[in-house]
Amino acid sequence: MMPIDPPLGDMTGKPSVKVKASAHSHAEEQSFETEILEIHGQPLCVGRRTGNGSSPPLLLFNGIGGNIELLGPIARWMPGRELIIFDVPGVGRSPLPVLPYRLRTIASLGAGVLDHYGHQQADVLGVSWGGGAAQQFARSQANRCRRLILCATAPGVLMVPGHPGVILKMATPRRYANKRYAKSISGDIYGGDFRRDPGLADEHFKHVKWQSRLGYYLQLAAMAGWTSLHWLYQLRQPTLVMAGSDDPIVPLTNAQVMAWLIPHSELKVFDCGHLFLLTRAEEACGAITEFLDKP
C-alpha cells in the first residue's frame, strides 16, 4: 500500500483538499488535476478537468485495477467538458478501505464527489468493471444521472462469459505489476488493436500506479453475486452502449443484450477490442460527445 496522509475535515463535515497535482506531464494533453478528498469517511484520490460550464459534468468509473491516469486520453479528446474521476478504495492513490465494499458503496462515493463540486446531476460513463458501478449509480442515484454510457461492460455475473483462459488471466492483477507480462498477454485478453500491436501495452500502461493485490481483489469481491439483468429494463436514462467486436473479456453479445433491455438505448460497435476507449479514443470520444449533446 502506498503511504498517504489522511485529509483533515472541517467542522462542517465538508471534504477538504489535502493534495493537488497534475495527472499528466505531457503539455499536449489536457490533464486531470488530482486532489485527495474525504468522502463519507473514505480518503479518495479524485481527478477533475474543469469545463466551460455549458454542459453537465461527466463522471467516470474506471475498469478494474485502473487508476485515474489510464483514462487520460478522454480528457484530451473531450475539450470543454468537465470530467470527474476517482481511484476506488485500494487502487491508485486511494488508500485501502477499512471494510470490504459493494458497488452500491462506489455509487454513493460518486454521489459524494459530485456533492463536493456542487453538482446535483451528471452524465455517467463506466468502463468494464466501472460499467457495473455506472449501472448501479444509474439505479441507486437515478435522479443524479442524466445520461448513461456503458463501455465494454456486462450485466454482472449473469453475462455471456469470455474464454476461460482469459478469465483466469483477469483473476490476477499480475499485468499491472509486471509490464513485460502485460505486454505478452495483451493481445489475448484485450483483443482488437492489441493483437496487431502488443506494443500498445507499453503506451497505455505507462501511467499505471500499482498499489496492492488486496485492492484488486476487493474490486472482484464487490462484483461477486451482483447483476443488473433483472432491473435494466427499469432504467430511464438515455443510454449509449459501446462495445468492441473483438473483445475476449466481454463478448459483444453482452452489449447487444443490454441495449435490448434498456428502454432508451442505442448500440455503438467498434472494430476493435476491450480497450477501444483508449486505442480508438478520438472516434470513441466523438461518439460520446455526439450522444451527450443530443437535445
Q: Give catalytic residues, as residue numbers.
A: 128
Under 8 Å CB-to-CB from 37, ≥6 apart: which residues? 7, 15, 16, 17, 18, 43, 44, 46, 113, 116
Q: What string of H, E and C letters represents the secondary structure of the chain?
A: CCCCCCCCCCCCCCCCCCCEEECCCCCCCCCCEEEEEEECCEEEEEEEECCCCCCCCEEEECCCCCCHHHHHHHHHHCCCCCEEEECCCCCCCCCCCCCCCCHHHHHHHHHHHHHHCCCCCEEEEEECHHHHHHHHHHHHCHHHEEEEEEECCCCECCCCCCCHHHHHHHCCCHHHHCHHHHHHHHHHHHCCHHHHCCCHHHHHCCCCCCCCHHHHHHHHHHHCCCECCCCHHHCCCCEEEEEECCCCCCCHHHHHHHHHHCCCEEEEEECCCCCHHHHCHHHHHHHHHHHHCCC
Report the alpha-carbon distance of residue 68 to residue 65 in Å, rounded. Answer: 10
Q: Which three cell numbers stand for residue 196?
A: 496487431
Q: Are 116 and 39 a contacting pair, CB within 8 Å?
A: yes
